[in-house]
Structure 1
């Protein structure tokens, strides 16, 4: 016997409110989140906020003074990209529960989110300057990722 319409509506409204509260908590937590990373050459330290914004940049131990402009730019870009990637993955993990359908009997169907359109190069690694990887290696990585996701 199915439950009366009013009970189903009340249950759905309660579930909606619980989801809304959980999303608000997740947003509040992420608003305070940041990732701080160092470039591989340990010249630059970049701090990136949850929306991918650069919130801090440090040049460590004055190592940058012996670098050319392009070398320093590459170190900065590398650190910022790593920070953006870390924060993008943290946001995805935080919101992952909302992308899944709710338990049996739930009205929540799960969200279909195109993370690549939201985070772009932060996820794909595109636009990395000074990463030291050739186009051929990036293509191999993409092929390997496709093989892993297919299985």
Structure 2
């Protein structure tokens, strides 16, 4: 005999499976994020992944040869920063729908969002659920 509790547990399990599948899809999408930026005068082209890690550095023209080492270093760093911002923007767009409205995706990605403020110290548990879990029966 199926009880309302059994039905609710089945619903919760289905919701869990759905959220788990969505999390796997999100993780895959985040791994695939890539952004590229090119410095002025095509001196350097930099590609980064979702976390801002360098995945490619190219010199599409010979313009880099005319730069002093400090100028070339600055061109690489500037292009890397620009590409990183693009990648973070793409990652933010991917996760924004999965975050509560009060959490900004950029804060989340930079590790500055206070996620503990979203959850109470103790989760609210209905008396009926607590009795069922503790005693295996519904309260009178």
TM-score by length of 2: 0.67
Q: Relative to 1, partners in 2 of residues 1:93 and 1:11: Cα closer, same or farther, differing over 3 Å?
A: same
1:1-151 superposed matches below 5 A: 4-100=4-100, 112=103, 115-116=106-107, 118-119=109-110
1:86-136 Cα offsets, whole Å, 9 max, x none, are: 111111111112114xxxxxxxxx79467336337xxxxxxxxxxxxxxxx
- Root-mean-square deviation (Å): 2.4
Alignment coverage as a number of residue pairs: 109
Contact 2:92 2:109 in 1 (8 A): no
Distance in 2 of aligned mates of 1:86 and 1:79:
11
TM-score by length of 1: 0.62
Equivalent residue of 1:28, what SS?
A: helix
Gaps of 5+ in 1: 101-109, 121-151
Equivalent residue of 2:36, what SS?
A: strand
Contact 2:41 2:63 in 1 (8 A): no
